Structure 1
């Protein structure tokens, strides 16, 4: 049965691959963007996840077109790298506001409808950086680690109402964001990947889609590494 799916930051990179995976199986898919629009076959809803009124408006638009959101994938995120002593507070808090507080905002908006239906699937897109840390990414790693605590707390709160909340933690995925990382840093990361290659966005889309499927109905509060073995689950 087709479901109403909303993916934040679903107009490119990992989010787009996830959106297309859900669309291919017949789900009704909406993706948020900040003005660039959405590819054909997907409903684009403009939304900056740091702005609560825009979050509410995006959900309302998606719900009007597709019905109440049944599957939420919180994927929108930013980086703003710097070593700690060169990272002013506003750069730290901006990344947390987008990546972590943004996830809180969209989860809170989605959950009210899921509770009424006693069913829902939430997947948060974190990062291997949440588990291992990354030099120059204290803000990004902290925001992604916070998503794990958020997901596990919500898993406990919502499990009794048929709602699962899980996390995927990708490693190096070849997206526009990854291409901003220096070649030397990418080579350093790849040296620690047992599978010997970076991921493509589709490598992440499959696990996200699976976590939202009936096959994963007894999984909640889990962190699924999608990193080629880089973190070995940690």
Structure 2
């Protein structure tokens, strides 16, 4: 994009969180106008927008429930009225951990609803508009748990692993339209998500790099995959995990 061109627009679901916020900042630094999504907490999304604008970038905030197809479609219709959305980063996801033997149906469905059904509800309405402009970048944020498994996370691993198959299939469907579809699978990343489950000694034990990654390291890959330079990278699942697998 030239300096005078209208910026391409990117929607980041879960953009108000730690990893989502880092992704929003990286995309804005790469020239995108970033739509920062939150589920309910619009003020958190607006805080990310304010920080991006303070750094000289372009951004706006939105809030809607990705698990509600009708609500998501209405929100996307509103966003599309302002022009095409050229990139979508499916970063929204939740944990509700527990061994499967004691897991409730609600725990199972809630996690899958956000990560997997949210992926469909947000991505599907954007495909034809992307195809019309012959450019699209779809990146879904998965997890090393989807690749290796993790005790207490059958629901989370199932939801994220499903994104791998969906993304590989969608990449084949949309590649001729200039649209790429990839998955980024982070490992142990600093922030609230790792909590007390990963003290430093545990991280040194399970991560060959012997440290946790940072949200910025994941965001850098996402931003690259959304760039012009990444146009021939398609249908891939790329780990950001310090060598875990």
TM-score (norm 1): 0.92
2:191 corresponding residue in structure 1:
175
The aligned runs of 1:46-61 (5 Å cut-off) are: 46-61=63-78
2:25 corresponding residue in structure 1:
20
Report the number of matched residues.
Answer: 228
1:134 to 127, 138, 150: 150
Partner of 2:36, secondary structure, is strand
Does residue 96 (structure 1) correspond to residue 101 (structure 2)? The answer is no
1:154 corresponding residue in structure 2:
170
CA distance in 2, matches of 1:187, 1:140: 24
Task: Could you list the structure 1 runs, at least 4 aligned residues long, displaced by more than 4 angstroms after superposition.
Answer: none
1:191 to 199, 205, 214: 205
Instruction: Determine if contact 1:128/1:170 at 8 Å carries over to the other structure.
Output: yes
Partner of 2:112, secondary structure, is helix
* Runs of 5+ consecutive residues of structure 2 not aligned to the other structure: 2-6, 54-58
2:56 corresponding residue in structure 1:
none
2:137 corresponding residue in structure 1:
121
Once the 2 structures are TM-superposed, how far is the Cα of residue 189 of structure 1 from its aligned partner? 4.2
1:35 corresponding residue in structure 2:
40
CA distance in 2, matches of 1:170, 1:183: 14
1:207 to 211, 217, 221: 221
Instruction: Please say which of residues 48-57 and 222-231 is displaced more in the overlay.
Output: 48-57
Instruction: Determine if contact 2:30/2:223 at 8 Å carries over to the other structure.
Output: no
Partner of 2:211, secondary structure, is coil
CA distance in 1, matches of 2:223, 2:193: 22
Instruction: Determine if contact 1:6/1:62 at 8 Å carries over to the other structure.
Output: no
Once the 2 structures are TM-superposed, how far is the Cα of residue 211 of structure 1 from its aligned partner? 0.7
CA distance in 2, matches of 1:68, 1:36: 25
For 1:38-93, what per-residue CA distance to the aligned partner results, in whole angstroms no more than 9, with x for missing partners? 1213311111110112212332343344x210011000000100101110122111
1:8 corresponding residue in structure 2:
13
Instruction: Determine if contact 2:203/2:211 at 8 Å carries over to the other structure.
Output: no
The aligned runs of 1:60-75 (5 Å cut-off) are: 60-65=77-82, 67-75=83-91
Instruction: Determine if contact 1:100/1:146 at 8 Å carries over to the other structure.
Output: yes
Once the 2 structures are TM-superposed, how far is the Cα of residue 216 of structure 1 from its aligned partner? 1.0
CA distance in 2, matches of 1:230, 1:8: 26
Instruction: Determine if contact 2:203/2:210 at 8 Å carries over to the other structure.
Output: no
Root-mean-square deviation (Å): 1.5
Once the 2 structures are TM-superposed, how far is the Cα of residue 118 of structure 1 from its aligned partner? 2.1
Instruction: Determine if contact 2:91/2:140 at 8 Å carries over to the other structure.
Output: yes
